[in-house]
């Protein structure tokens, strides 16, 4: 076996995957569904406050939209692969109904880093909102270009997934150096709905 093989790195990769899984858990597994939902609502409110402070015009955009989603995600990028997981909720503005969801992400591309970030999706029409809740799958390419927000150490980036969905990504623990082609899967959390 060559000294530069991937075998010595496997334990590190396992640790990184375990860290993502721990960081992406919204609450303790011992909490009730009502407590988990409350934790997600608190996360949503905090993320929206941060986004409105950084980019106030988003409040008006969201008020006119069919709905929005807010997700918390942690992602590990190690060499040529990335893995992430998270949780969140989608709100239908016409009914006020919340749908609690989970997310997972896999990517391929060069980079190293741990990124804890929040995503806000604005659905500009009912069809895009319904499609996301029912199908949930989003593919995207990401080169991680984000601007610092007022020297606060936070950053916000914008990625257009499709013509009827705008995505805002906020980071807190720093920016990862990466360029990935990723697949993110969002699905309804049946234990919370």
CA triplet 87, 24, 51: central angle to 5 degrees? Answer: 60
Question: What does the mean pLDDT of the chain come to?
Answer: 73
Cα atoms in the 13 Å half-sphere on the side-chain side of 148: 5
Binned at pLDDT 50, 70 and 90, residue 61 comes out as: very high
Task: Determine if the pTM surpasses 0.85.
Answer: no
What is the 8-class DSSP label of residue 29? Answer: T
Residue 7 has pLDDT above 60, yes or no: no
Alpha carbons within 13 A on the beta-carbon side of 97: 9
Q: Quick one: pLDDT at residue 109? A: 66
Mean pLDDT of 117-129: 91
Residues of the chain with pLDDT > 70, as a percent, come to 55
* Closest-CA residue to 73 (of 101, 42, 50): 101
Beta carbons of 139 and 74 less than 8 angstroms apart: no
């Amino acid at each position: 076996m060559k000294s530069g093989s991937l075998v010595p790195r496997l334990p590190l990769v396992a640790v990184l995957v375990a860290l993502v899984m721990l960081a992406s858990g919204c609450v303790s597994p011992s909490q009730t569904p009502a407590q988990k939902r409350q934790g997600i609502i608190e996360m949503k409110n905090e993320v929206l406050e941060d986004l409105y402070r950084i980019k106030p015009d988003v409040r008006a955009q969201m008020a006119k939209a069919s709905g929005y989603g807010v997700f918390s995600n942690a992602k590990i990028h190690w060499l040529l692969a990335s893995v992430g997981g998270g949780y969140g909720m989608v709100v239908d503005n016409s009914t006020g109904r919340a749908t609690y969801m989970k997310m997972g992400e896999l990517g391929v591309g060069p980079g190293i880093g741990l990124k804890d970030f929040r995503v806000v999706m604005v659905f500009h029409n009912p069809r895009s909102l319904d499609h996301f809740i029912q199908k949930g799958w989003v593919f995207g390419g990401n080169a991680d270009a984000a601007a610092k927000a007022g020297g606060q150490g936070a950053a916000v980036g914008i990625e257009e997934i499709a013509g009827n969905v705008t995505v805002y990504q906020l980071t807190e623990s720093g920016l990862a150096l990466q360029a990935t082609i990723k697949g993110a899967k969002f699905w309804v959390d049946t234990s919370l709905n």
